[in-house]
Chains A and B, each alone.
Chain A
Amino acid sequence: MRRLDFKRGRIDMTHGAGGRASAQLVEELFRAQFDNAWLASANDGACFAVPAGRMVMATDSHVVSPLFFPGGDIGCLAVHGTVNDVAMMGARPLYLTAGFILEEGLALADLRRIVESMGRAAREAGVSIVAGDTKVVEQGSGDGVFITTTGVGVVPPGVNPSGDRAQPGDRVIVSGTLGDHGVAIMSQRENLGFATTIESDTAALHGLVEAMLAVAPDLHCLRDPTRGGLATTLNELASQSGVGIVLDEQALPIRPEVAAACELLGLDPLYVANEGKLVAICAPADASRVVEAMRAHPLGRRAAIVGTVAQDAHRFVQMETSFGGKRMVDWLVGEQLPRIC
């Protein structure tokens, strides 16, 4: 069989049919890029020893459009996303699986670029992609590629971050600047047409989490503010824990360009997605130690305490504005759309 033409070739229905073409795609692309013993054994599943202790499992589907954006692509996003979900449970990520739904007509060159990026992201994160699946759908049924990743990891004893553990008095910490990813994606949407140097912040955060747990193993909450931004994540946590949260507007780290882009589109950076940031809620006594540890890590240089957990039966998330007044930071209503009014 002729080798895959990565220059001009395209995905067609045979690649998902389970026959020779499928096998060739797996062999020449996925296995070549992900390169590990499990995939080399060419079985339908991967077998590994179960470490002692507690395990974490998480899954994520990625449907981002465009597939390639400043700072990343759907491939590394898929790896980082699930690595981060596992890391937000305080666990060290070990193995990932990757399911692909490919649209008929997708250029093999694009697919290879995505898969290369996934392989690189996985190696950098110290995880192996050990099993996967590929299906092909007819043209028009998908946005080029949809990727679902599932990850497993192991949690050290004494580590138990959970959304229901925030307590009045706790401090709210973010690991860095807000809204970068969402703005980077939007800058690629042709009809919004603005140019910026902002790049997606997509990154694997488990190293940062480890550094934080080293100085404060009993972090109360950890979550990554992806879709819906920081505001949505904090509302989730407040709701789960039955508390209120009060943010300090002036403490929020936001790049001027991100602020400007949000102004132009009529968006609130608090609701814009992040893919390489985390929110941590910890006991007040631990806060400065945790921030210090974060700032010593490359992914936490702009870490900051941005708020406090309060007693509040209404479970409101509020913010003290630079004017000294207060405003609500409510749940997102539907999808945040650029507005004219």
Chain B
Amino acid sequence: MKYIDEFRDGATARKLAEAIAREADPRRTYRIMEFCGGHTHAIARYGIADLLPPNVRLIHGPGCPVCVLPIGRIDAAIALALERRAILCTYGDTMRVPASEQLSLMKAKARGADIRMIYAASDCLRIAAEHPGREVVFFAIGFETTTPPTAVVILEAARAGIPNFSVFCNHVLTPSAINHILESPEVRGLGTVPLDAFIGPAHVSTIIGSQPYEFFAEEYEKPVVIAGFEPLDVLQAIRMIVRQLNEGRAEVENEFTRAVTPEGNAKAKRLVAEVFELRRSFEWRGLGEVPYSALRVKERYRPFDAEARFGIGYRSVPDHKACECGAILRGVKRPQDCKLFATACSPENPMGSCMVSSEGACAAHYTYGRFRSRAA
């Protein structure tokens, strides 16, 4: 597969790892947070942590939009299907997320809810056309990568005057989340979890560009290197971060130049701005309320806003008391530090956001790295 296989070459990976080991200063530690579910996955799947010297540590950030989706929002989606009898269209990732009362979308489906898994947002419009007598709701989730397709379907629905389609919008914003982590007491004030640098998300950055990260580099004086999705990209980005830290620089660098420009995708951004506006605040599972971190459908497109159309209220539902997801998402604790990890909490029976999707730190560790901590 072109532009995929070359970026997964094992021999090159080892050379990059050796270069990192050579350049890393043995007198210090490098704490690097990656903020992209795709990166979490690549790191775990290829065992990248195994290749790095012990003083270069990777910390998993809240890079998974499914994981940070609050229980209350899933409850609302389930209610749309079970109680309001809408056809609920969703990406596969959300199907198994546990919500209140032992339900999930998958379980609600077993109870008779009409829940359909889709691969592309445009599938919703097809379903709406096929079922003119039913309400069709798109359970829209995702960061900036996935938001533009939602904008496109709303615009198409508006253009075509589709009467039975709306979107339950749960799109969230990357820079807000990074900011929230950096503003958290542990990181900003107390310095107990020193985070030295960030690996910037791959595909979010194709949309928003590299420019929005300048703020972090300046304000917090931490380097940000945007990395491509493949393991060699991640290793090269780590190498670039190590160099920046050694040289005392705090800049935004772009490793993923083949898909990311400073400006990003202007057309996509324009379409998103046409359809969506910022919410003043939004609850993130594990992080609490985060200001200006999520989107809602603009007044102009109200007929396509499921929250307005169905009068959806929101009830916040807390996680299990012993769940350490909040600390794990901020890089303060590791999965294995949580009492519930691999005991009460597992991919089959996730108790918190980090275990819910395969991108979550706990799920990735459980699936790929659990044996290491057992052996240790």
- Interfacial residues, chain A to chain B (CB-CB below 8 A): 191-193, 256, 259-260, 263, 265-266, 314, 316, 318, 321-328, 330, 333-334, 337-341
Chain B, residues 19-53, CB within 8 Å of chain A (1/0): the string is 00000000000000000011000001111111100
User: With a CB–CB cut-off of 8 A, which chain A residues contact B13?
Assistant: 323
- Besides A318-B371, A321-B10, A341-B359, 13 new A-B residue pairs in contact (Cβ under 8 A), listed by A number: A191-B123, A263-B4, A323-B10, A323-B48, A325-B46, A325-B47, A326-B47, A327-B369, A333-B348, A334-B348, A339-B91, A341-B64, A341-B66
Residue of A nearest to B347 (CB): A333
Contact check, B14 vs A324: say whether CB atoms are below 8 A apart: yes
Range for the number of chain B residues in contact with chain A? 35 or more
- Among B45, B93, B367, B371, the residue within 8 A (CB) of A341 is B93
Complex CA distance for A25 and B65, rounded to whole angstroms:
54
A-B contact pairs, 22 of them (CB 8 A): A256-B1, A263-B4, A314-B374, A316-B371, A321-B10, A321-B47, A322-B8, A322-B10, A325-B51, A326-B371, A327-B45, A327-B46, A327-B47, A327-B367, A328-B370, A330-B347, A337-B93, A337-B95, A337-B117, A339-B92, A339-B357, A340-B91
A322 to chain B, nearest CB (A): 4
Chain B, residues 109-142, CB within 8 Å of chain A (1/0): the string is 0000000111100010000000000000000001
User: With a CB–CB cut-off of 8 A, which chain B residues contact A325?
Assistant: 46-51
Beyond A323-B14, A339-B93, is A334–B50 a contact (Cβ under 8 Å)? no
Complex CA distance for A337 and B123, rounded to whole angstroms:
17
Complex CA distance for A266 and B38, rounded to whole angstroms:
11
User: With a CB–CB cut-off of 8 A, which chain A residues contact B142?
Assistant: 340-341
A217 to chain B, nearest CB (A): 35
Task: Pick from B38, B92, B93, B123 the residue with the most CB of A within 10 Å.
Answer: B92
Residue of A nearest to B366 (CB): A330
Leading 7 A-B pairs by shortest Cβ distance? A325-B47, A337-B92, A325-B50, A322-B10, A333-B347, A327-B368, A340-B91
B17 to chain A, nearest CB (A): 9
Contact check, B47 vs A323: say whether CB atoms are below 8 A apart: yes
Complex CA distance for A321 and B38, rounded to whole angstroms:
18
Does residue B298 face the partner (Cβ distance < 8 Å to A)? no
User: With a CB–CB cut-off of 8 A, which chain A residues contact B10?
Assistant: 321-324
